[in-house]
Amino acid sequence: MKRPFVVAIIIGFLVAGAIGALHGTQLLARVELPAREFISLHGTFNNVLSERWQYIFLSILSVGVAWMTLTTPRRGRLGWLVLALVIEVIGFAWVCSLYHVFFQPAPSIFAVVLAFVVSERFFAIYSHSRSRVARLLLGDRLSKEQIQRVVAGDIPFETEARTFQTTVVVCDIANKYELAEENNPTVFAETTETFIHRATQHLLEAGAYIQAADGEGVVALFGFPDAEPNHADRAVRMTLGLVEAFRDFRLVNNGETPTKCEVHVGVSSGTMIVAPFKNDDRPGLLTSGEPVELARRFCVANRFYGSRILIGPQTFELASKHIVARPIDFLSGVNSQERHEIYEPLSLATEAKPEHIARRDSFWNGVVLYREKRWAEAYSEFQKARGPDGENDAPLQLYLRRLEVLALHLTDAPEK
């Protein structure tokens, strides 16, 4: 709930004012008189607590109960807490009687109960309204757990245009066009549907917001609606797990030959604009920003480099402390003057062994030397980057093929 303390103060003072008015005009006399007579049976009183203190207690109790009701996450225990507070008020009146001071507990008890009832009803109406808005705008784009957090107010969600710092993940079937050529349209549609469902579930479980899920791939946002600072780290961790989940995943096409289904992922971080809008009188959310376009480009670029995941420079900067990644190349941005360096995440930093780090460093040195046109030195570094499965390291093999052509060109060049 937005600004619960302000709401609690408003409810508390309204309740305190109403009970105070009933007390001051003697409209509560029928209830207060029996309480006074009961307390009088157990002692004599030399003093009576002033009306000013009575009103101060009313205000403090009303505001306190309202704030507790509006902010307590475990709502099932609220009734017991209110009952305990009522008993404490009665206990306070009894303690005052021991010192021969009369304190009328009835107004304070009424204030506690009324503040609780009003706050509880207000929260129920607010939650119902918030739940309806959240489900209309977010629908099945968030996991049930995330929806509940939005409804409970744990995740702030405002129905107005805002900007968010997010990380966008775009994933698609790696061999989509080969599948389309090798299978009939029905089989391809079933394969794509299964891929979308599996990828979407993986993203939802990771806490992502699903912007789109169709034949062009799945687009998800991290950092919305929960504007948390570690959205890039969460996104890259998820993509590593997603690729692993699809590594050995095969789709059976109506009893025909099983089809291997791998995934390509592009990840980009930056500013996204989120705003409510109506489409054919149906409310929804408009999400727009450069990270979506860049993430799509990175996803498609995997086909050329043979990688599985490619991330942009801002994502790398935000998540570099937690992952092991290597530079791959530069890609043009939304306009032709922009160039973005892309990186391939290899593993989580906590899971990387020293030999993995060493090969990553050799590959990195090779890329730097290649860009400096120091072909022989670059070739030597790339050779050091070979692992046990080096032949299947597509980006490494791409650079080696490039260098072999360059080396051949230098060998064939006539001496001057």
Q: What is the pLDDT of residue 49?
A: 66
Structure confidence at residue 155 as a pLDDT band (50, 70, 90): confident
Nearest to 238 by CA among 148, 155, 143, 330: 143
> Among 86-90, 92-96, 135-139, 157-161, whose mean pLDDT is lowest?
135-139
Sign of the Cα torsion 352, 355, 361, 364 reads: negative
Share of residues in the chain with pLDDT > 70 (%): 80
pLDDT in tens, 132-146: 666 667 777 888 888
Q: What is the pLDDT of residue 348?
A: 94
User: E strand or H helix at 278, and its extent?
Assistant: strand 263-279
Which residues, in sequence order, are bridge partners of residue 342?
329
Indicate the average pLDDT of the chain: 82
Which residues, in sequence order, are bridge partners of residue 273?
163, 288
Structure confidence at residue 416 as a pLDDT band (50, 70, 90): very low
User: Could you tell me which residue, 134 or 293, shows the higher pLDDT?
Assistant: 293
Q: What pTM was estimated for this model as a whole?
A: 0.71
Structure confidence at residue 255 as a pLDDT band (50, 70, 90): very low
Across 81-90, 108-117, 257-266, 340-349, the highest mean pLDDT is recorded for 340-349
Q: What is the pLDDT of residue 32?
A: 62
Q: What is the pLDDT of residue 413?
A: 47
* Angstrom distance (rounded) from CA 189 to CA 176: 11
Structure confidence at residue 410 as a pLDDT band (50, 70, 90): low
- The whole-number average pLDDT for the span 380-406 is 88
> Among 3-7, 61-65, 289-293, 409-413, whose mean pLDDT is lowest?
409-413
Domain boundaries, the chain: 4-135, 158-352, 355-416
User: Could you tell me which residue, 45 or 230, shows the higher pLDDT?
Assistant: 230
* 368 φ/ψ angles, rounded to the nearest 5 degrees: -60, -45
> Among 105-114, 294-303, 363-372, whose mean pLDDT is lowest?
105-114
User: Could you tell me which residue, 51 or 118, shows the higher pLDDT?
Assistant: 118
| Burial class of residue 47 (count of CB atoms within 10 Å of its CB; 0-12, 13-18, 19+) | exposed
DSSP 390: G
Strand residues in 10-160 grouped as ranges (E): 47-48, 101-102
What kind of architecture, by CATH, is found in domain 158-352? 2-Layer Sandwich (3.30)
Q: What is the pLDDT of residue 345?
A: 96
> Among 153-167, 218-232, 322-336, 394-408, whose mean pLDDT is lowest?
153-167
User: Can you state the angle between helices 51-71 and 4-24, rounded to 10 degrees?
Assistant: 150
Report the amino acid identity of residue 72.
T
Q: Are strands 217-222 and 250-251 parallel, antiparallel or unpaired?
A: unpaired
If phi > 0 it is left, if psi is from -120 to 50 it is alpha, else beta; for residue 217 that is left
> Among 65-74, 83-92, 269-278, 363-372, whose mean pLDDT is lowest?
65-74
| Res. 22: pLDDT tops 70 | yes
> Among 36-40, 70-74, 99-103, 304-308, whose mean pLDDT is lowest?
36-40
Nearest to 358 by CA among 346, 371, 374: 346
| Res. 252: pLDDT tops 80 | no
Q: What is the pLDDT of residue 119?
A: 86
